[in-house]
Amino acid sequence: MTTLFLFTAVYLLPTFIMFYMSVDIFLRNPKRAEHRLLSLFTFAYGMMFLGEFFRNASPIEMSPAFVTYWFGNAGLLVFSTSLHFIFRVSNLRKKIPRFLYPGIFYAPMLIVLVTYLFQTNVINSQRFEQVGLFIYPEFNSSYLITITVGNVFHTLVFTLLVYTRKQLNDARRGIITLLIFAASLTLIWNILFGYFSFYGKIPPYAYMYGGLFWAAAITMSMRRFDFLASYQTRFATLYNLNPSAIVLLDRSGVIESANPAAYQLLEETELVGQSFLDYLPQNKRTDWLEHYTHHFDSSNQFIEYETKVATIQKQERYVVMDGDFVFIEQELHGMLLIRDIQASKEAEQAIRFFAYNDPLTKIPNRRSFYETAAAELLQHASCSIAVVDLDGFKAINDTFGHQIGDEYLIHIAQLLEEHVAEIGFAARVGGDEFFLLLYDQTPEQLHHFATSLLERFQVNPFTLAEELIDIRTSIGISFSPDHGINLDTLIHHADQAMYDVKNNGKNDYRIHDTMDKTLRQH
């Protein structure tokens, strides 16, 4: 009874733990290679403990067979699957030629074939002795060779893990750190209980209990790996459903990944492998590449970088980019979050436009005129103000209606813009009142300007169906510095001159405070 209890504690309990872990890991995600590998690893380790239970419970004559066909082969499977798992979870597999992966990890399993073909075991001691309740292998050269091979394997694993940790810059680094710690404990345990004899004090093959550290660490790593996979799944969902375009770029700006919103924004069917520069307007490419390269080299994120993208149809759209830089499979990549601000940009431009332009005629409004004219007065030796007031506009509105009246105003605004295009600008400042700002005009030039403007109105009446509506205006003009250097003063004097025309027959012009009292007669 004591023997059964002892064997259960030292063999069957670890077997049960290993088998439970194997099933639990496999059922977590049987479709993933990492889960299948780790499940097979823990199962093989459990088989080693189970084999030792039956070997020690059987006659000593059976020990060579148990070691040859059970214990040794299970140990080889532990070796192969654990090494394969490390390469798989750390992405070191990508450094192995494709024709070698994963077969190279299972080359040691050829020893199993040799064992069955030649009915001999080349890696374990075949001599045993009974010491108390346990049957121990003879402490000979075969045994020591087996221990040495195992320790070389663990040293190789430890070296690979240290190398892998240096290559990683993401959350997997923590997983590898845990495995390094477990590999260190396992190696120390194997050296202590493998090269020194503890016959009669602890169970045989005591070094395999060190593997419990390794199995526990790998299982914990798998749980963390599952969490990362779950996190990546959640990220992938956000990535695919995000309404903003997301692209992953290498250092030169080649697209390695793009979410559905990116394809929609750029109106493209294939983005991977294309240069992101191809989707920028020509005049934006140099600035963007300098900005991206600078931040890539320093790994500093950037936010609110405003530029334009060009769709495959060459339609330009305003966008704002946020960028960050992440390591993916040991390589630095740039991740861009691109927000389409075309609609808001158009709304912003519309707001800005109508803040400074008349909504009906689209020419500058009173605010624009005052701000621009005040600045221009400081820049030019002389500026002229012309106040243009329509004659009889109320009658047109009353006769033809306000819609026709609006079209009439638009027609006049166009004529004014055309007439001042080379020497100034026009603005609508009231219902039927317009201001003109003219640069560096002499009195003689002002006379010519006003005369030619009235002639333009005369030869370009407003056309309504087959009816022509004449354009009649009263124009008053003042200029700096003769009539003042202040904008309000100049407008006041031009307004006075305009009213002088109104009171003297209309449809003419007058320059303020001149000796020329001649009005055009019609």
Q: Tell me: do 103 and 174 sit in the same domain.
A: yes
CATH code for the domain of 341: 3.30.450.20
The answer to whether residues 328 and 247 belong to one domain is yes
Q: Are residues 185 and 261 in the same domain?
A: no
How many Å apart are CA 378 and CA 372, to the nearest integer?
10
Res 519: pLDDT: 39
Residue that the structure tokens 């109106």 belong to: 267
CA separation, residue 222 to residues 22, 160, 183, 213, 226 (Å): 12, 18, 15, 14, 6
* pLDDT at residue 273 tops 80: yes
Q: How far is the CA of 272 from the CAs of 39, 82, 236, 521, in angstroms?
A: 36, 35, 17, 75
Confidence (pLDDT) at 59: 92
Shared domain for 218 and 258, answered yes or no, is no
pLDDT confidence bin for 521, thresholds 50/70/90: very low
Tell me the CA end-to-end span of the chain in Å, nearest whole number: 136
* 64/124 Cα distance (integer angstroms): 9
Residue 313 phi/psi, 5° resolution?
-90, 10
Reply yes or no on whether the pLDDT at 474 is more than 80.
Answer: yes
Given a cut of 50, whether residue 516 has pLDDT beyond it is no
Whether residue 326 sits in one domain with residue 222 = no
- Please compute, for residue 465, the number of CA atoms within 13 A of its CA located in the half-sphere on the CB side: 3
In-domain check, residue 521 = no
Per-residue pLDDT, 99:
87
Residue 520 lies in a domain: no
Query: Domain range spanning residue 251?
Result: 242-345
- Of the candidates 324, 325, 315, 319, the one whose C-alpha atom is nearest the C-alpha of residue 307 is 319
More confident residue, 520 or 225: 225
In a domain, 350, yes or no: no
Q: What is the pLDDT of residues 400-418, one digit of tens each?
A: 999 999 999 999 999 999 9
pLDDT in the model for residue 403: 93
Q: With 60 as the cut, is the pLDDT of residue 229 above it? A: no
pLDDT the model gives residue 518: 43
Residues 6+ apart with CB under 8 A from 285: 277
Contact 354, 361 (CB under 8 A): no
Percentage, residues of the chain above pLDDT 70: 91
Q: Is residue 172 part of a domain?
A: yes
CA–CA separation, 391 and 507 (whole Å): 7
Determine the angle formed by the axes of helices 210-241 and 72-90, rounding to 10 degrees.
30
**How far is it, in rounded angstroms, from Cα 266 to Cα 433?**
47
Average pLDDT of the segment spanning 188-199 = 83
Both tokens of 444, joined, read 């003689």
**Any idea of the CA torsion for 209, 213, 214, 218, to the nearest 10 degrees?**
140
pLDDT above 90 as % of the chain: 45
Q: How, if at all, do strands 473-479 and 509-511 pair?
A: parallel
For the cut 80, the answer to whether the pLDDT of residue 522 exceeds it is no
* Alpha helices by DSSP H, 259-365: 260-266, 282-298, 342-356
d(CA 129, CA 60): 7
- In this structure, are 337 and 361 located in the same domain? no
Number of domains in the chain: 3
Residues 68-81: tens digit of each pLDDT:
888 888 888 888 88
Picking from 325, 345, 365, the residue at the C-terminal end of a domain is 345
- Average pLDDT, integer, range 175-184: 80
Phi, psi of 328 (to 5 degrees): -130, 115
Confidence label for 233 from pLDDT (cuts 50, 70 and 90): low
Work out the mean pLDDT of the chain and round it to a whole number: 86
CATH number, residue 24: 1.20.1070
What pLDDT, on a 0 to 100 scale, did the predictor assign at position 124? Answer: 67
Lowest mean pLDDT among 26-30, 287-291, 355-359, 468-472: 26-30
Instruction: Say whether both 162 and 177 belong to one domain.
Output: yes
Confidence check: pLDDT of 484 > 60 = yes
